[in-house]
Amino acid sequence: MEGWAVPKANDAITISLVPPRGFPSSSSTVQTFHPAMTYQIFEGESIYGYKDLAVDIKFRSDDMSPSIAVKYDEKLEAAGTTANEVKVDDVEPALREYLPADTPSELDLSESNFAPPGEHVNTYFTETSKFHIYRANLSDKIAQDIVRRTQILAVLFIEAGSVIDLSEEGNALCWDVFFIYEILPNDKVSFAGFCTVHKYWYFLPEKTATIKANDANGETDEFEKGTKFRQAIMDNAFTRLYRARISQFVILPPYQRQGHAKELYNTIITTYLADPLAKEIPVEDPSERFEDIRDIADYTRLKKAGLVTPAVVEMLLERGKKVRLWIDTQRQVAKMDRRQFMRIVEMLMLEAILDDTENDLEEQRDRLRIYVKERLYRQNKDILMQLERDDRKVKLHETYENVEDDYVRLLRKLDSKALNKLMELASASRSVISGKRAQSEISTIEEDEEGEEEEEELEPPSKRKRTKMDM
């Protein structure tokens, strides 16, 4: 039936940040915006069965208390009564699934003395405003309430975003949250964004040596070893080290493209670098836009630390016995997952090679190409071994070129002066970095080399299926 479809659910939903009474007049403007995506709530991001549908989701600017109101001129009542009819979407119940159960239809805007929960961990400024970042654990009742209220934003603004399950007892302790608040006159604050961080325990495989040492005869069978190992976990025999995985990361649209994401990410990294129990700071399924923010921040941090010197570049390119030890040691200091650490190191190596005035540029780039390809081969060995040898060479080389192009793109965003030498070389030889070079034989890669060992973690593997080679 024509005329009853709302083809763009995003446009029918309006989200508002509403200042409560008592806010300074300079900050009393209601800020409105639309969702970035609604496909997880409405199939195909369309809604059926309404004319002139308007959905208003409002939040108080301070504590993010929400309200929801659904209005329309007409609603189709009879659709879906037969198998051939399209069912009318139950708009309000579908959205309320992601809001607290007591969410009203009218927003309470009474004045309050709300103060952000948690510890104040950073202050920074934009051209016009002052901002604070607060860190809290979700065992904090106020912090947990704010996170519950804002879970719908994770679904509406994060690709494949999901909500946090706090129903299990003790689960809240596993989550930290960081809030960004704009600081206003008269001790008022306005919510700008948040990030949740999942802390999950892991242990190092080497710890099993403790159990083996306790076996005087060294002849314990595998079943008994497993029993002892599990009991050691239950008895807290291991240090409570953990990974702090960045999960939901949302900057509200009125505050986007103002540097808040960089400030929030760097604050999170600084916080867990200072915690000796935090072993690693990975990111859960980052979007391309977030990956750029992360790459630039991590590059800046490692470059400032002077991690990759000419001597380090030479040591890594020689691919000797020291390489593994250096990578493991420095990665643990940086608290980065292996893939991210290697990508940033390779980008710094490329920049260092382009800055090098003593060695032949093309020769050094060829050595770097082999170095990166070895990493890509080990990382994607299972996929590559499904291909014929010639196809394997082509696929590996294409992946390498994509990686190198991405490094150059990021260095360009960073305004790296090292790229000037590359452009001069390209102009002289008409060989741009993204052009096809002669493919090296895959025999330069040690196909039988075992993959690098990873620390074992008490976390189920990701359900996400990779459909392409991981770079």
Active site residues: 284
Instruction: Judge whether 229 is annotated as a binding position.
Output: no
Helices 338-355/361-379 angle, 10° precision: 170
Query: Looking at beta carbons, which pairs linking 266-275 to residues 24 or more positions away fall under 8 Å?
Result: 266/297, 266/301, 267/121, 267/122, 267/133, 267/178, 268/178, 268/195, 268/197, 268/244, 269/297, 269/301, 269/335, 270/122, 271/121, 271/135, 271/178, 272/197, 272/244, 272/335, 273/335, 275/244
Cα separation, 183 vs 26, in Å, equals 12
* Token reading at 404: 């190198």
Q: Which of 152, 61, 151 is nearest to 114 (CA)?
A: 61
Distances (CA, A) of 28 to 62, 104, 191, 462: 12, 22, 13, 44
Cα separation, 197 vs 452, in Å, equals 27
DSSP sequence for 201-242: EB--GGGHHHHHHT-TTS---HHHHHHHHHHHHHTT-S---E
SS3 453: coil
Cβ partners under 8 Å of residue 196, min gap 6 = 138, 147, 164, 175, 176, 177, 247, 248
Cα separation, 443 vs 445, in Å, equals 5
Rg (alpha carbons) of the chain, rounded to whole number: 27
Please work out, in degrees rounded to the nearest 5, the angle formed at the alpha carbon of residue 79 by the alpha carbons of 76 and 80: 150
Q: Which of 72, 74, 71, 76 is nearest to 105 (CA)?
A: 71
Can you list the positions of beta strands (E) in 25-118? 31-33, 47-48, 50-51, 54-60, 66-71, 74-75
Pairing of the two strands 74-75 and 278-280: unpaired
CB–CB of 350/404 below 8 Å? yes
Instruction: Judge whether 249 is annotated as a binding position.
Output: yes
* Token reading at 80: 């879906």
Instruction: Judge whether 250 is annotated as a binding position.
Output: yes
Cα separation, 436 vs 433, in Å, equals 8
CB–CB of 143/136 below 8 Å? yes
**Gap between the terminal Cα atoms of the chain:** 47
Cβ partners under 8 Å of residue 431, min gap 6 = 425, 437
Residue list for the binding site for acetyl-CoA: 249-251
Residue list for the binding site: 249-251
